[in-house]
């Protein structure tokens, strides 16, 4: 989610946004166009116009091949950008142990204030 909010330089942000918009518009367009071409091919087969039917089927195959190719190339490009972003934008959270369980010399190394202890307490 952090990458989607800030994917990197401005041109990468524009590319990601543009590809998302294209995907949202092209997917229904490709689906409807493919359905219409296949429907037209079926109608042409009923009227014994086989050449037009073959042409519409070839158009449908070409349409979906181009759509799938564009989707795959775009997806791989953005996966590569995401991997690069993840490699260079790691968020590290340092969890330090409670100071009561550390010996005084390790507390000073971590910058923790030493705690006053009773003489009856021992560190285990």
What are the sequence ranges of the domains in the chain? 10-89
Residue of 5, 21, 24 whose CA lies nearest to 82: 5
Give 73-106 pLDDT, tens digit per residue. Answer: 999 998 888 888 888 877 777 777 665 555 665 5
CA distances from 61 to 71, 83, 107, 108 (A): 15, 33, 69, 70
Give 48-66 pLDDT, tens digit per residue. Answer: 788 888 888 999 999 999 9
Task: Determine the average pLDDT of the residues in 115-122.
Answer: 52
Considering the entire predicted model, what is its pTM?
0.59
Q: 78: helix, coil or strand?
A: helix
């219409």: which residue's tokens? 36
């Amino acid at each position: 989610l952090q990458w989607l909010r800030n994917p990197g330089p401005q041109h990468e942000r524009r590319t990601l946004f543009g590809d998302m918009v294209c995907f949202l518009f092209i997917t229904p367009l490709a689906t409807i166009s493919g359905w219409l071409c296949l429907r037209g091919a079926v109608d042409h087969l009923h009227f014994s116009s086989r050449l037009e039917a073959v042409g519409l089927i070839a158009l449908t195959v070409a349409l979906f091949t181009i759509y799938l190719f564009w989707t795959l190339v775009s997806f791989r490009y953005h996966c590569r950008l995401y991997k690069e972003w993840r490699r260079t934008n790691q968020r590290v959270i340092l969890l330090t142990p409670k100071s009561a369980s550390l010996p005084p010399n390790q507390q000073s190394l971590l910058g923790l204030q030493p705690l006053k202890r009773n003489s009856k307490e021992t560190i285990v």
